[in-house]
Amino acid sequence: MPHPFARGLRRTGWLAGLPALALIWASATLYAGPRIAERLEAEGAAVAAGTATDTGEPWLRLAVEGRDLVAAGEAPDASARAATLFRLAVLDGPRRIVSGVGLVETAAPFQWAAIRLGPDRVALEGSRPVEIGRRALEARVTGMLGPGTSLDDAARAARGAPPDFPSAAAFLAARLSGLAAGGRAALSDTVLSLSGEALDVPAYEALRAALSEPPAGFSIGRVEILPPRVAQYRFTVEKATGGIALDGFIPSTADREAARRAAQEVAQETPGAAVDDRLVTARGLDPAIDSKTLIGFMFRLAALIQTGRVTFTDGAVSVSGDAMDAQAIPDAEALMRDARPAGVSAGRVTLTARPLSPYRVAIRRTPEAVTLTGHVPDAATRDRVLDALRPRLFREPILDRTRLADGAPPNLGAALAAAAPLVVSLAAGEASVSDRTLTLTGESLYREVAARAPDRLAEALPQGWTGKATVSARQPAERRDPATCRADFAAATTGADLRFPVGSAAPGPTFYPTLDALAALAKACPTLRIAVSGPADPAKAAPTPAAGPGEGTPPAAPPEAEPTRVASAAKTEAPGKADAKADPKPAGQHDAKAHDAKAHDGKAHDTASEAKPDGKGSGTDAIKEAAKRGKPSPKPSPKPSPSPKPSPKKPEATADEPPQDLPRLRAQAVVEYLLQAGARPDQVSAGPDTPAGPVTFALLP
């Protein structure tokens, strides 16, 4: 070997063989590597095919990484997993087996989710039903996502899936197509949830509509979908003769409801006006501006125009159109100057004052207040209407929201003053004026008032005015056929045991349920005729003389029924009263007993008033009068003395002796209660007196 060459070879050493080694490695990588990978894939596919389940798909999934085999999937049991891994290990060629094979378990709760990673890429995670093949489920999901979407499926087979899982997965995948990157559609047992940002306005509206109809057997849980962001945020309130139109964008559903409520309040001032909601939920409002404050400000401006538009765009509010009246123009300018929300700029105020057509004003009665709205020509007309209302209202406040404007019809003040008493007599209603037409609507507590309203309105209106009254009764009359009335009467009186306390003509609290039922029946049955019979007190047993020495004959026993009634009545009296009847009391103690009787009558009076269903008095004056006449007190002498002496011609009257007409007084007390409770005078009358016992009722032909 020449000397220079040998010296160079010694200098380079083993580095001279690197190019040859690199050539050998490149040949092995480019030629032998793919052949090895193909052979491993073929051999692994044969093993995977042997793991096919009832779905027709193998549970084993294999991937080749160089000379390594990566196994994944969920084996039905541990023995199947061990057998499959052994078959892979004995293959000729793999350097190692990387196992990620798990076991099929029961998932509780069963959760599955689809997450959008990009425009054409979606990841699946959680659990999928073991009864459904992976490829079959992926095909169902991809079909709802759109062609060209790739799936990163990391879901594991598990048991415990809800019924009809594929339908729920397809529903969620379809909703996911309307969300931007980061959107998530998830299932937890039978509850579906969505979160993310909508792609655009149509997608947001489609999502809202679709969520109202979930698949059968599933419900909608947490929904956190952000509206899309728009470049130019605008909001418009347009007021026309037919109503109010809302257009543009709104930040949230809550703001949309607030705008609708405000529009309905303004629309109520115009008969027949409606609200047309064309709002779309979207973001883009400056965070420095409070959305609800902006909505309220714009509707304050809208209340000052007859027709026109209030618009928010490019951060400024402007108003244009026909002003409500001449006063509305400076009012709108003052609002724009002094009441603008923070962050909002002042736009143009372009309003024109025109004569009102039609000229409107209204008196509205509610349970809380009486409100005047609309226009009046001058302060004198306003004062005339207020003077007609004030004497007829005791608790309800009067809210005057009228404005001054020209163009009122003649005799407007007289028409409103005539309508004021009619409105106040209603439970709720309104008298509205449109030019020279006055319309009275509402409901009354009484049918008679409702029936007379048209005639009273026609008589009260000035000449040249027309009126229309539509007043209904709050509780229309009920009518029953005679057979039903008789059956209901028998049901109401059967088992009723209405007994007066001894010596009293005041009904007790136990009377009122039965009497109220009979009064209601009388109102529903105009042909019903009821006779009420009052009972007498039980007869007292004759006093037994004291037995003398050697006298052992017992006294005759009283009738069986009488002691029972007396004992029953005695239970209702105060303790010690039975002893008072057995032993005569001095005259000074009779006043205390009469005082107790008065207190008992007052209690019955209060109970009767509370039991009255329509809030009126319940005949308590007549009941108290009857009770006073039925009190067991001695007849007063013209000149009372501290110790009255008994008359020699008459036997001495005891304090417990009831008046002779006590049955009649008791019947009259019941009749008076029924009349005050709503029965007509020709429907209830007093019947013949009855012996001791309960009050009896009878139907008259």
**Average pLDDT of 558-562?**
37
Bridge partners for 399 per DSSP? 371
Rounded CA separation 273/244 (Å): 7
Per-domain residue ranges of the chain: 34-103, 106-226, 234-353, 360-473, 479-539+586-633+655-701
Of the pLDDT bands very low, low, confident and very high (cuts 50, 70, 90), residue 543 is low
Rounded CA separation 296/258 (Å): 9
Q: How far is CA 15 from CA 20, 21, 579, in A?
A: 10, 10, 137
- Whether the predicted pLDDT of 313 surpasses 90: yes
Q: Over the stretch 391-415, which tens digit does the pLDDT of each residue have?
A: 888 778 999 989 888 888 999 999 9
pTM: 0.48
Rounded CA separation 504/695 (Å): 13
Higher pLDDT, 554 or 441: 441
- Whether the predicted pLDDT of 582 surpasses 60: no
Angle subtended by helix axes 291-302 and 253-267, to nearest 10? 20
Instruction: Report whether 435 contacts 359 (CB < 8 A).
Output: yes
Of the pLDDT bands very low, low, confident and very high (cuts 50, 70, 90), residue 611 is very low
Structural domain 360-473, CATH architecture: 3-Layer(aba) Sandwich (3.40)
Higher pLDDT, 318 or 34: 318
Looking at the chain, the whole-number percentage of residues with pLDDT higher than 70 is 76
Q: How far is CA 483 from CA 236, 376, 527, 689, in A?
A: 64, 58, 11, 28
- Whether the predicted pLDDT of 439 surpasses 90: yes
Of the pLDDT bands very low, low, confident and very high (cuts 50, 70, 90), residue 602 is very low
Looking at the chain, the whole-number percentage of residues with pLDDT higher than 90 is 32
Q: Over the stretch 346-373, which tens digit does the pLDDT of each residue have?
A: 999 999 888 787 888 999 999 889 999 8
- Whether the predicted pLDDT of 631 surpasses 80: no
Which of 47-61, 99-113, 673-687 has the least mean pLDDT? Answer: 47-61
Instruction: Report whether 343 contacts 289 (CB < 8 A).
Output: yes
pLDDT at 548: 43
Pick the CATH number of 34-103 from 3.60.20.30, 3.30.300.130, 3.20.190.10, 3.30.70.270: 3.30.300.130
Rounded CA separation 275/266 (Å): 10
pLDDT at 535: 92
- Whether the predicted pLDDT of 565 surpasses 70: no
**Average pLDDT of 117-137?**
87
CATH number of 479-539+586-633+655-701: 3.30.1330.60
Of the pLDDT bands very low, low, confident and very high (cuts 50, 70, 90), residue 609 is very low
Return the CATH fold of 106-226. Answer: hypothetical protein tt1634 (3.40.1520)
3 state SS of 563 = helix
Return the CATH fold of 234-353. Answer: hypothetical protein tt1634 (3.40.1520)
* 358 upstream amide cis, omega within 30 of 0: yes
Asked, colleague to colleague, whether 106-226 and 360-473 share their fold, the answer is yes
pLDDT at 694: 92
**Average pLDDT of 281-310?**
92
Higher pLDDT, 184 or 479: 184
Tokens of 389: 């209302």
pLDDT at 6: 62
Which of 58-72, 233-247, 319-333, 524-538 has the least mean pLDDT? Answer: 58-72
* 109 upstream amide cis, omega within 30 of 0: yes
